Amino acid sequence: MRNTLEETRKTGRRTRTSHAQVVDELGKAIVAGTYPVGSILPGDTELAQRFKVSRTVLRETMKTLAAKGMVVAKARVGTRVTGKNLWNMFDSEIIAWHFDNGVTEEFLLQLYDIRLAVEPFAAGLVAERANAEDIETLRALALDMAASGHTADSLALADLRFHLAIAEASHNPFMRTLGSLIEAALVGMFRMSTPSTENGFANIADTHMHIVDAIVSGDSLAARRSMELVILDGRHHVHEAFAARGSETVIVSISTEI
């Protein structure tokens, strides 16, 4: 899976270029509301002095943010922050910036809404299209979730690998573009929760193996339903985690390797 948050953690955030650093800082500031919707970003002179970069770097930065739908440049006006409805919420960096700023229960549940809309159908496709190699991979990944000694982070990674493998095994390239949403939802859920032995995740291997069993039998409807139950269970854990914390906003880092 290309362009997932996992890859962002492993590469871009370790050896960022000046361009990437400025994009990251301005992107986070826009998401945080430091530069609210409709506001004009500081001019090149101020930004160049603040970030110690050239005007060329700033031009590339603005092109990157514009490609994400976050800003629009207008002659004799400046670069304006666009409405959130124009932002590309499938972009892995935009999702990461929301987590860096602190996510609400509503935001995480919205991620689960998208997962419910897409992943059960993807599982159904896998039941129809999976080859022997796909099935072997999925079975091994489901079994890995049952391994002893998992922490919340390692279990989140095992879970992530399974769901990304489902997207791959659907043999539909559009499904693969949802990797960053899947990762954000899973990492957010696990990092807000206690280790699996304490929060009801102990049966996670079984619920995911049910998906594999349905795929093996070629039962598309059962695969869809099994995936739906897995996602609904995760959604329930998100709700429980926020209720336990008694807070509307939680900082959940997804910028370090899990």
SS3 string, 172-240, reads: CHHHHCCHHHHHHHHHHHHHHCCCHHHHCHHHHHHHHHHHHHHHHCCCHHHHHHHHHHHHHHHHHHHHH
Does residue 75 share a domain with residue 42? yes
Question: Taking the mean position of all CA atoms in its chain, how far away is CA 26?
Answer: 20
Start-to-end Cα distance in the chain = 16
**pTM of the predicted model, to two decimals?**
0.82
Looking at residue 3, what is its pLDDT?
45
H or E element: which one contains 249? strand 249-250
Q: Does any domain span residue 4?
A: no
Calpha distance 58→48 (Å, rounded) = 7
Does residue 201 share a domain with residue 75? no
Rounded to 5 degrees, what are φ and ψ at 150?
A: -65, 140
Does residue 100 share a domain with residue 28? no
What CATH number does the domain containing 182 carry?
1.20.120.530
The domain tally of the chain equals 2
Tokens describing residue 88: 């590309």
The CA distances from residue 19 to 6, 16, 50, 53, 55, in Å, are: 20, 8, 13, 8, 11
Q: Does any domain span residue 250?
A: no
Looking at residue 255, what is its pLDDT?
43
Residues spanned by the domain of 213: 92-245
| Ranges of the chain with pLDDT below 70 | 1-16, 193-200, 247-258
CB 180 within 8 A of CB 90: yes
Looking at residue 150, what is its pLDDT?
87
Does residue 176 share a domain with residue 136? yes
Which string of b and e fits 71-82 if b means at least 16 CB within 10 Å? Answer: beeeeeeebebb
Looking at residue 244, what is its pLDDT?
81
Calpha distance 64→71 (Å, rounded) = 9
Calpha distance 175→15 (Å, rounded) = 29
Calpha distance 111→89 (Å, rounded) = 10
Calpha distance 88→86 (Å, rounded) = 7
Q: Taking CA 13 as the corner, what is the angle to CA 22 and CA 91, rounded to the nearest 5 degrees?
A: 75
Does residue 199 share a domain with residue 185? yes
Q: Does any domain span residue 11?
A: no
Q: 194-246: per-residue pLDDT in tens?
A: 555 555 677 899 999 999 999 999 999 999 999 999 999 989 888 888 888 77
Domain endpoint, select from 69, 86, 103: 86
